[in-house]
């Protein structure tokens, strides 16, 4: 047997089973049906006479075929076919134990091998034998002893037909990329491999954002041309990852799986982070504008990532989960990627440069403040607003504060970020006041690490001065944990802020440990009842009602204004009104909205 080729002439069934399965791929990878493509065909030769195998191998190698497999043990044929997914089988008919007819009928009965062409080797001139082989699905005949030129020609012709059929079956005619069917075959294959070798892989569902608009505005011809170009760009993106990154060659494959939908299969990866690298690269690859039929078009994508085995080991479940993740990316405004697993989404924020992205977020202007009105329970008038931060990440879209504020607290970035929040809130408030809009107060959230940082007091004073905002218009929302940690220092600092005129609010009240009597020690103005209590007001609500009543009564006795957060229903509002809660905040009145929208809200008010 020739060492340069991947021949398997001997071995037990078990060994053949252990071999790495070949990627089912058809003969379409290089496109076209050039001689080069044909010569890459995987050809399996089965004959019980080793000498015939040797002769055929010599002839075929001479003709330039490089992927030759053979076995002289007929019982090895079926496992080999299953393992290697050959493009063509050369099959002897008359063999001991398992004859060629058995193998042929087995192949034709199995969906996976049904379409593999089989050239039957026969020394017999017996018409009945030929007829039987034809009936069982043989593609062609080759007479023994084998003649070199006849062998080469029959193989060429058979493979040329297969290339054409494979293209029709597996290739998307618009983009030339593998189609949905090929993608599914590959996914099945990758999953079986992952199971067998305990591998990790990922499936990415890519959707072009707002593609429908292009279609409607510019027509299907332009839309098709755009899709072609997008396919090319994504393909470059995938090739880049494949050759530059840690990702092994050929473990990445791009397919077009629907109208404006593409998919990438990452059949093997070292770490889950590899998938992030690929997703980023793909988003990047479509960033530059497209030139289509005289139009300059800007395109972005939403990518959903499902990881196996974590998010499933079954094709349809994984496809569905990647789709769910894609929708979530799109809902955040697109041009973003998301894992299906929320765990991975959180973890990914802490790794792979998102820390350093957060560093740059301020200077790049990616942080935004959203505003949610605080409403007077009695009159329904807007008496204030809470500023809530959002991070508009260039790739991941909107990131919610719960996902990055903890990270910012860990790495200290909360200090500059918090300073930006206060400055931005003051700038907006000042601008609204200048426009004659009425907004008595604005609240910002101040985290523990920020509060305890040296120079915090001075920076706040400077910000107020620069912005020209009256300190009495600014409220700090702090949580119980800040106050518990360094109680004495915190109290001293809070008093200095109070002296300046600032208002202080205890946020998320009821979630920590502090008792109401403990609150007396702190110079507070306001108490925000945590929204978890509100949720209990809806159903039967007797217990929740008792708690809220107690908080309101005691809070009032300490001279505090009581704010309920998370008010979502009229029922809740009616009860809070009845109980004498001073202010309400929640989706019932408005979600947190961008500054421009909040401005409209104020103006309409």
> Which residues of the chain form contacts with Ca ion (CB under 5 A)?
445, 477, 507-508
Closer of 395 and 507 to Ca ion (Cβ): 507
Q: Please state the three-class secondary structure of 40-104 as a single string.
A: CCEEEEECCCHHHHHHHHHHHHHCCCCEEEEECCHHHHHHHHHHHCCCEEEEECCCCCCCHHHHH
Give the Cα separation of 109 and 101 in Å (integer).
Answer: 12
x/- site string to ligand C2E, residues 549 to 588, per CB under 6 A? Answer: ----------------xxxx-----------------xx-
Task: Decide: is 310 part of the binding site for ligand C2E (CB under 6 A).
Answer: no
Backbone angles phi, psi at 72, to 5 degrees: -100, 5
- The option from Ca ion, ligand C2E, none interacting with 592 (CB < 5 to 8 A, set by class) reads ligand C2E
Closer of 395 and 508 to ligand C2E (Cβ): 508
Given 198, 402, 488, 596, the residue binding ligand C2E (CB under 6 A): 402
Q: Please state the three-class secondary structure of 376-431 as a single string.
A: ECCCCCEEEEEEEEEEEECCCEEECHHHHHHHHHHHCCHHHHHHHHHHHHHHHHHH
Closer of 136 and 527 to ligand C2E (Cβ): 527
558 beta partners: none
Q: Is 572 left (phi over 0), alpha (psi -120 to 50) or beta?
A: alpha
Closest distance between Ca ion and the C-beta of residue 529, in Å?
9
Give the Cα separation of 570 and 143 in Å (integer).
Answer: 87
Helix axes 414-434, 401-411, angle to 10 degrees: 130
Reference 68, options 37, 87, 44; nearest CA is 44
Backbone angles phi, psi at 86, to 5 degrees: -65, 160
Helix axes 595-604, 414-434, angle to 10 degrees: 30
Closest distance between ligand C2E and the C-beta of residue 592, in Å?
5
Site for ligand C2E in 177-236 (CB under 6 A): none
Closest distance between ligand C2E and the C-beta of residue 459, in Å?
15
- The option from Ca ion, ligand C2E, none interacting with 100 (CB < 5 to 8 A, set by class) reads none
Closest distance between ligand C2E and the C-beta of residue 594, in Å?
12
Closest distance between Ca ion and the C-beta of residue 565, in Å?
5
How many residues are present in the chain?
A: 605
Question: Which CA distances in Å does 2 have to 388, 439, 465?
Answer: 70, 85, 84
Given 8, 283, 405, 573, the residue binding ligand C2E (CB under 6 A): 405
Task: Decide: is 385 part of the binding site for ligand C2E (CB under 6 A).
Answer: no
Closest distance between ligand C2E and the C-beta of residue 603, in Å?
22
Q: Is 569 left (phi over 0), alpha (psi -120 to 50) or beta?
A: beta
DSSP string, 470-502: -GGGEEEEEEHHHHHHTHHHHHHHHHHHHHHT-
Given 92, 209, 357, 508, the residue binding ligand C2E (CB under 6 A): 508
Give the Cα separation of 578 and 585 in Å (integer).
Answer: 16
The bridge status of strand 261-266 relative to strand 201-208 is antiparallel
Closer of 100 and 586 to Ca ion (Cβ): 586
Closest distance between ligand C2E and the C-beta of residue 453, in Å?
12
Given 392, 445, 459, 490, the residue binding ligand C2E (CB under 6 A): 445
Closest distance between Ca ion and the C-beta of residue 591, in Å?
14
Cα–chain center distance at 553: 48
Give the Cα separation of 208 and 263 in Å (integer).
Answer: 11
Task: Decide: is 298 part of the binding site for ligand C2E (CB under 6 A).
Answer: no
x/- site string to ligand C2E, residues 313 to 352, per CB under 6 A? Answer: ----------------------------------------
Closer of 19 and 531 to ligand C2E (Cβ): 531
Tokens 């004659």 -> residue? 436
Given 531, 536, 561, 593, the residue binding ligand C2E (CB under 6 A): 531
Closer of 26 and 586 to ligand C2E (Cβ): 586
Give the Cα separation of 392 and 400 in Å (integer).
Answer: 9
Task: Decide: is 403 part of the binding site for ligand C2E (CB under 6 A).
Answer: no
Classified as helix, coil or strand, 585 is strand
Site for ligand C2E in 455-484 (CB under 6 A): 477
CB 159 within 8 A of CB 43: no
Closer of 7 and 406 to Ca ion (Cβ): 406
x/- site string to ligand C2E, residues 406 to 425, per CB under 6 A? Answer: ------------x--x----
Closest distance between ligand C2E and the C-beta of residue 397, in Å?
14
Closer of 121 and 425 to ligand C2E (Cβ): 425
Task: Decide: is 269 part of the binding site for ligand C2E (CB under 6 A).
Answer: no
Helix and strand numbers, DSSP H then E, in the chain = 25, 22
Given 133, 389, 429, 573, the residue binding ligand C2E (CB under 6 A): 389
The burial of 94, by beta-carbon neighbours within 10 Å (0-12 exposed, 13-18 middle, 19 or more buried), is given as middle
Closest distance between ligand C2E and the C-beta of residue 443, in Å?
9
Closest distance between ligand C2E and the C-beta of residue 528, in Å?
7
Closest distance between Ca ion and the C-beta of residue 585, in Å?
9
Closer of 341 and 585 to ligand C2E (Cβ): 585
Q: Which residues bind ligand C2E (CB under 6 A)?
A: 372, 388-389, 400-402, 405, 418, 421, 444-445, 447, 477, 507-508, 531, 565-568, 586-587, 592
């Amino acid at each position: 047997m020739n060492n340069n080729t991947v021949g398997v002439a001997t071995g037990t069934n078990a060994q053949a089973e252990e071999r790495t399965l070949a990627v089912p791929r058809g003969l379409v990878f290089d496109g076209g049906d050039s001689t080069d493509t044909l010569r890459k065909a995987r050809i399996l030769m089965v004959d019980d006479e080793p000498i015939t195998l040797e002769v055929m191998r010599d002839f075929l190698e001479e003709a330039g075929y490089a992927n030759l497999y053979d076995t002289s043990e007929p019982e090895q044929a079926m496992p080999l076919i299953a393992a290697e997914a050959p493009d063509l089988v050369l099959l002897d008919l008359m063999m001991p134990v398992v004859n060629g007819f058995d193998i042929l009928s087995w192949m034709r009965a199995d969906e996976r091998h049904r379409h593999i062409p089989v050239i039957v080797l026969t020394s017999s001139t017996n018409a009945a034998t030929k007829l039987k082989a034809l009936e069982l699905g043989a593609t062609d005949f080759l007479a023994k002893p084998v003649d070199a030129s006849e062998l080469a020609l029959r193989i060429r012709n058979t493979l040329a037909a297969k290339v054409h059929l494979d293209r029709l079956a597996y290739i998307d005619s618009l983009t030339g990329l593998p189609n949905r069917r090929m993608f599914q075959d590959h996914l099945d294959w990758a999953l079986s491999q992952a199971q067998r070798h305990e591998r990790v892989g990922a499936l990415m569902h890519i959707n072009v954002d707002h593609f429908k608009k292009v279609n409607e505005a510019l027509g299907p011809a332009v839309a098709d041309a755009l899709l072609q170009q997008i396919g090319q760009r994504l393909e470059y993106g995938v090739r880049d990852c494949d050759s530059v990154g840690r990702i092994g060659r050929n473990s990445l494959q791009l397919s077009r799986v629907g109208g404006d939908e593409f998919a990438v299969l990452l059949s093997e990866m070292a770490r889950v982070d590899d998938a992030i690298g690929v997703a980023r690269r793909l988003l990047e690859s479509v960033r530059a504008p497209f030139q289509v039929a005289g139009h300059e078009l800007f395109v972005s994508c939403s990518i959903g990532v499902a990881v196996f085995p974590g998010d499933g080991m079954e094709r349809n479940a994984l496809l569905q989960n990647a789709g769910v993740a894609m929708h979530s990316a799109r809902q955040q405004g697109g041009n973003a990627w998301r894992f299906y697993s929320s765990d991975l989404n959180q973890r990914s924020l802490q790794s792979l440069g998102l820390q350093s992205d957060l560093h740059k977020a301020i200077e790049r202007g990616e942080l935004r403040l959203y505003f949610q009105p605080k409403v007077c329970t009695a009159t329904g008038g807007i008496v204030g607003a809470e500023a809530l931060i959002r991070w508009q990440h260039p790739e991941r879209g909107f990131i919610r504060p719960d996902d990055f504020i903890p990270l910012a607290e860990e790495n200290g970035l909360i200090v500059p970020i918090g300073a930006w929040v206060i400055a931005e809130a003051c700038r907006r408030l000042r601008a609204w006041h200048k426009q004659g809009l009425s907004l008595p107060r604005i609240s910002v959230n101040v985290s523990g690490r920020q509060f305890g940082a040296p120079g915090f007091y001075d920076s706040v004073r400077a910000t107020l001065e620069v912005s020209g905002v009256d300190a009495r218009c600014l409220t700090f929302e702090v949580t119980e944990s800040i106050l518990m940690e360094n109680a004495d220092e915190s109290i001293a600092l809070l008093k200095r802020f109070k002296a300046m005129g600032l208002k202080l609010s205890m946020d998320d009240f009821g979630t920590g440990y502090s008792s109401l009597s403990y609150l007396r020690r702190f110079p507070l103005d306001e108490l925000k009842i945590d929204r978890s209590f509100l949720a209990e007001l809806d159903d039967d609500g007797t217990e929740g009602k008792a708690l809220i009543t107690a908080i309101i009564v005691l809070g009032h006795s300490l001279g505090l204004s009581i704010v309920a957060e998370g008010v979502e229903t009229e029922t809740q509002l009616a009860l809070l009104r009845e109980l004498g809660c001073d202010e309400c905040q929640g989706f019932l009145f408005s979600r947190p909205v961008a500054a421009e929208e909040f401005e409209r809200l104020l103006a309409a008010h």
